[in-house]
A and B are shown apart, each in its own frame.
Chain A
Amino acid sequence: MSAGRTVVALVQSRPGALSRVVGLLRGRNAEIRSLTIGDSEGSGVSRLTVVIDVADAEHVVKQLNRLIEVLEVKDVTHTAIVERETALMKIDAPEPQREEVHAVAERFGARVIESGRDTVIVEVTDTPDRLAALIHSVRRFGVREIMRSGRLAMTLGADPRMEAPLHWQAQADGTA
């Protein structure tokens, strides 16, 4: 499987905006692997990271730009970025296996956030690669559920083009 393209967009929150983004990707022959959306630094503006499989990424980015809600959109696949993902994992951890589960979690910098009779829930935030490595390492204990947040990406250093307009930030601060 190819690595996919990571696209970050700043989107005005209007009714149906997410639906438009998703529908457009489908209609333009892009397969969504991961999609994360949430509030941004600006009021009424969301930021999303989407990882897609697509033959012509440039075309899809231009098409996304046609949506009137999309304020900025950028393919950051070959840009210097940080990428993070959070996962919750429910792992089989009866005694005496429990010790070992805790040890692996610790080795990966994951936190055990719930310890039940037979299972533990582990939370981790890391790069996609290290997350995959952790999941691989805990499989042998028996993994009951995995919930991943989807990819978050942010370009390194100042990137004014990708920032929400100042007056919207002010609104979010409550200073306007």
Chain B
Amino acid sequence: MSAERTGAQIMCEALIREGVDVMFGIPGGAIMPFYHAMWEYRDRLRHVLCRHEQGAGHAAEGYARATGRPGVCVATSGPGATNLVTPIANAWMDSTPLVAITGQVSSLVLGKDAFQETDITGITMPITKHNYLVKRAEELPYVFREAFHLARTGRPGPVLIDVTKDAQQTRTVPEWEVTLDLPGYCPPTVPDRTALRAAATLLARARKPLIMAGHGVIIAGATEELRALAERTGIPVITTLHGIGAFPQHHPLSLGMPGMHGWVHVNRAIQECDVLLNVGARFDDRVTGKASTFAPHARVIHIDIAPCEIGKNVKVMVPIIGDAREALRGMLDEMPARDADGWLAHIRSMQAVHQCRQAYLRRPDTDELMPHDVYAALNRALTDRGGYRVVTDVGQHQMWAAQLLDWRRPRTHITSGGAGTMGFAVPAAMGVAIAHPHETVWAIVGDGGFQMTNQELATIAQERIPNVKVAIINNGYLGMVRQWQELFEGRRYSGTPLSGPGFARLAEAYDLRAFTVERADEVDDAIAAAWDHQGSTVVDFRVEREANVFPIVPQGRSIGEMITEAPQAVGA
């Protein structure tokens, strides 16, 4: 019934059929037929021309993380494709649905070191859920269907489709009626009843139970169910870096973040708890510290859609394999009401003695602008105004954001967790801004990470994206590495002092509005001005250079061993 199309046209129509409305990319020889075809579909398929393929990949990730729908990025063969490797690896580590489309040299010269030929399917095999080298136009409808299915179902992840130039050019009649042939891919959904019952029994009898909520809660859209379970049982909830937003932080049962930069009371609660229900987190070593010492008294219930995560790092007593939402619903059915009042009071008393985040929000005795001043002001603005998303990069500023902002809704905190990819924030924020044009998207980024991908400010300017507000926490260092050097390596600041251009002038060169803030009393006004400006903006916060993130658990140590202050202050 459908007429003949080129492979490239089929690719465009396949994307439209999959519900794609925007893609991020850069053209080049091997992908030119696709760009040629794209022009005809431009009213339905928006293409955002990025400045570097890494930017395109992170932008697609941002789009995906903010919406839950696969993000799409496009590159040419060879260097175009290899520039996508970092975002693909990042999406792999963070279970982000991403479809990367790359052009490949013609099948006639494939394998002959043709100009710009790189074996990108070979390179990305270990960091994709699956990938394809398509040499015939006839295969395109099936491959696109399967690729999107894989990217978005089960545990989401990146999929790469490499299409030879001749496959893009060949004319054929597309066969859209395809049946997926995936006998080896059966993501679990409905969890086993017996396991749910066993888990409910364990939780009902526990004296010191804890719930740990991870990314899986957000991916599964299970925040309501999580809240219902917590409220029914009175069990306190901790949220991992990627679990932030899965449970509102002002909820009386919310404890905050565990792990390397987790709060003292949270890590202590883990070390004391007798039953730990992990919903959709994967016991990353940044959460567990030395895994053999993690939660020594706990019997662990682990809900995960990926069987490979069960028992990988932490011994699990009750594995529940399936979708987090289904699992939590199932547990709610099985779960008698109970309360954990005494236990919660105990944790709160630890919190009061050891730590409260307000202490971190208070200005220390110095005239310099502290990073905490910025977060306090930003927190006020976010709370007052609403309608925001926050994307963070990797480093100290990322941990301060996780610790110091009041997270309330899922998919409002987007960061690079598993891979820790510096340079993520600015392009990802651009993708988020396109996905949610009526919200204000703050990119919180260090001066180091900003200099890795700031070329995407040109994309933001060209596309007239009005809602990206970049907050540079400018400390003149690769701060997180410097902090480790200060605390663990005798202050030998090897390779960490960092200069930059005047960031405000740089932003102005891109025709963006920019502000520089050097004093605490200017912060609120600058944030308000940036927020109110009808275009994207950059704010350069020149903060105290050697502020540290506390608490910190030294790498490889038990999360029971937290350093809560700089060493000199400990002695004083």
Interface contact A66-B308, CB-CB below 8 Å: yes
Interface contact B125-A12, CB-CB below 8 Å: no
Neighbouring B residues of A165 by C-beta, 8 Å? 183
5 smallest CB-CB distances across A and B, nearest first, come from A62-B308, A68-B185, A71-B184, A27-B126, A68-B184
Neighbouring A residues of B500 by C-beta, 8 Å? none
Instruction: Across the interface, name the chain A residue whose C-beta is closest to B121.
Output: A16
Neighbouring B residues of A62 by C-beta, 8 Å? 307-308, 310, 312
Interface contact A58-B184, CB-CB below 8 Å: no
17 A-B interface contacts by CB (under 8 A):
A16-B133, A19-B122, A23-B126, A24-B126, A58-B311, A59-B308, A59-B311, A59-B312, A62-B308, A65-B307, A66-B308, A67-B184, A68-B185, A69-B184, A71-B183, A71-B184, A165-B183
Neighbouring B residues of A59 by C-beta, 8 Å? 308, 311-312
Instruction: Across the interface, name the chain A residue whose C-beta is closest to B308.
Output: A62
Neighbouring B residues of A16 by C-beta, 8 Å? 121, 125, 133
Instruction: Across the interface, name the chain B residue whose C-beta is closest to A66.
Output: B308
How far is A67 from B184 in the complex, measured between Cα atoms in Å?
8
Tell me if A116 counts as interface (CB < 8 A to partner B): no
Neighbouring A residues of B306 by C-beta, 8 Å? 66
Tell me if A7 counts as interface (CB < 8 A to partner B): no
Interface contact B130-A68, CB-CB below 8 Å: yes
Most A-side CB within 10 Å, residue of B129, B184, B306: B184
How far is A15 from B135 in the complex, measured between Cα atoms in Å?
12
Q: How far is the CB of B78 from chain A (nearest CB, A)?
A: 19
Tell me if A152 counts as interface (CB < 8 A to partner B): no
Tell me if B182 counts as interface (CB < 8 A to partner A): yes
How far is A147 from B130 in the complex, measured between Cα atoms in Å?
34
CB-defined interface of B108-149 with A at 8 Å, one 1/0 digit per residue?
000000000000011001100110010000000000000000
Neighbouring A residues of B310 by C-beta, 8 Å? 62
Neighbouring B residues of A19 by C-beta, 8 Å? 122, 125
CB-defined interface of B178-193 with A at 8 Å, one 1/0 digit per residue?
0000111100000000
Other A-B contacts than A12-B184, A68-B129, A71-B184, 15 sampled, CB-CB below 8 A, are: A15-B133, A16-B121, A20-B125, A23-B125, A24-B126, A27-B126, A58-B311, A62-B308, A62-B312, A66-B129, A66-B306, A67-B184, A68-B185, A69-B184, A70-B184
Tell me if A63 counts as interface (CB < 8 A to partner B): yes
Neighbouring B residues of A23 by C-beta, 8 Å? 125-126
How far is A63 from B312 in the complex, measured between Cα atoms in Å?
10
How far is A165 from B126 in the complex, measured between Cα atoms in Å?
27
Neighbouring B residues of A66 by C-beta, 8 Å? 129, 306, 308
Q: Inter-chain contact count A-B, CB under 8 Å? A: 40
How far is A65 from B123 in the complex, measured between Cα atoms in Å?
20
CB-defined interface of A43-57 with B at 8 Å, one 1/0 digit per residue?
000000000000000
Chain A contact residue count (CB 8 A cutoff): 21
How far is A35 from B364 in the complex, measured between Cα atoms in Å?
63
Interface contact B185-A63, CB-CB below 8 Å: no
How far is A165 from B186 in the complex, measured between Cα atoms in Å?
14
Instruction: Across the interface, name the chain B residue whose C-beta is closest to A71.
Output: B184
Neighbouring A residues of B185 by C-beta, 8 Å? 68
Tell me if B150 counts as interface (CB < 8 A to partner A): yes
How far is A20 from B150 in the complex, measured between Cα atoms in Å?
16
Restricting to A29-84, which residues have a CB under 8 Å from any CB of B? 58-59, 62-63, 65-71
Neighbouring A residues of B126 by C-beta, 8 Å? 23-24, 27
How far is A69 from B183 in the complex, measured between Cα atoms in Å?
8
Neighbouring B residues of A70 by C-beta, 8 Å? 184
Interface contact A12-B307, CB-CB below 8 Å: no
Neighbouring A residues of B125 by C-beta, 8 Å? 16, 19-20, 23
Interface contact A12-B183, CB-CB below 8 Å: yes
Interface contact B183-A63, CB-CB below 8 Å: no
- Complex partner residue of B182 from A11, A20, A65, A68, CB under 8 angstroms: A68
How far is A67 from B157 in the complex, measured between Cα atoms in Å?
13
How far is A27 from B184 in the complex, measured between Cα atoms in Å?
21
How far is A58 from B319 in the complex, measured between Cα atoms in Å?
15
Instruction: Across the interface, name the chain A residue whose C-beta is closest to B313.
Output: A59
Neighbouring B residues of A65 by C-beta, 8 Å? 307-308
Most A-side CB within 10 Å, residue of B130, B182, B183, B308: B183
Instruction: Across the interface, name the chain A residue whose C-beta is closest to B181.
Output: A12
Interface contact B307-A68, CB-CB below 8 Å: no
Neighbouring B residues of A11 by C-beta, 8 Å? 184
Instruction: Across the interface, name the chain B residue whose C-beta is closest to A19.
Output: B125
How far is A24 from B133 in the complex, measured between Cα atoms in Å?
19
Q: How far is the CB of B504 from chain A (nearest CB, A)?
A: 44
Neighbouring A residues of B183 by C-beta, 8 Å? 12, 71, 165
How far is A118 from B310 in the complex, measured between Cα atoms in Å?
58
Neighbouring A residues of B121 by C-beta, 8 Å? 16
CB-defined interface of A1-33 with B at 8 Å, one 1/0 digit per residue?
000000000011001100110011001000000
Neighbouring B residues of A20 by C-beta, 8 Å? 125
How far is A24 from B185 in the complex, measured between Cα atoms in Å?
17
How far is A58 from B308 in the complex, measured between Cα atoms in Å?
9
How far is A69 from B184 in the complex, measured between Cα atoms in Å?
5
How far is A102 from B310 in the complex, measured between Cα atoms in Å?
54
How far is A68 from B150 in the complex, measured between Cα atoms in Å?
9
Neighbouring A residues of B184 by C-beta, 8 Å? 11-12, 67-71
Q: How far is the CB of A62 from chain B (nearest CB, A)?
A: 4
Neighbouring A residues of B133 by C-beta, 8 Å? 15-16
CB-defined interface of B281-316 with A at 8 Å, one 1/0 digit per residue?
000000000000000000000000011101110000
How far is A62 from B125 in the complex, measured between Cα atoms in Å?
17
Instruction: Across the interface, name the chain B residue whose C-beta is closest to A164.
Output: B183
How far is A71 from B310 in the complex, measured between Cα atoms in Å?
20
Neighbouring A residues of B307 by C-beta, 8 Å? 62, 65
Instruction: Across the interface, name the chain A residue whose C-beta is closest to B127.
Output: A27
Q: How far is the CB of B97 from chain A (nearest CB, A)?
A: 15
How far is A49 from B378 in the complex, measured between Cα atoms in Å?
58
Instruction: Across the interface, name the chain B residue whose C-beta is closest to A68.
Output: B185
Neighbouring A residues of B129 by C-beta, 8 Å? 66, 68
Q: How far is the CB of B187 from chain A (nearest CB, A)?
A: 10
Q: How far is the CB of B525 from chain A (nearest CB, A)?
A: 51
Q: How far is the CB of B39 from chain A (nearest CB, A)?
A: 31
Neighbouring A residues of B130 by C-beta, 8 Å? 68
How far is A164 from B152 in the complex, measured between Cα atoms in Å?
27
Neighbouring A residues of B122 by C-beta, 8 Å? 19
Q: How far is the CB of B132 from chain A (nearest CB, A)?
A: 8
How far is A12 from B129 in the complex, measured between Cα atoms in Å?
16
Most A-side CB within 10 Å, residue of B133, B308, B310, B312: B308
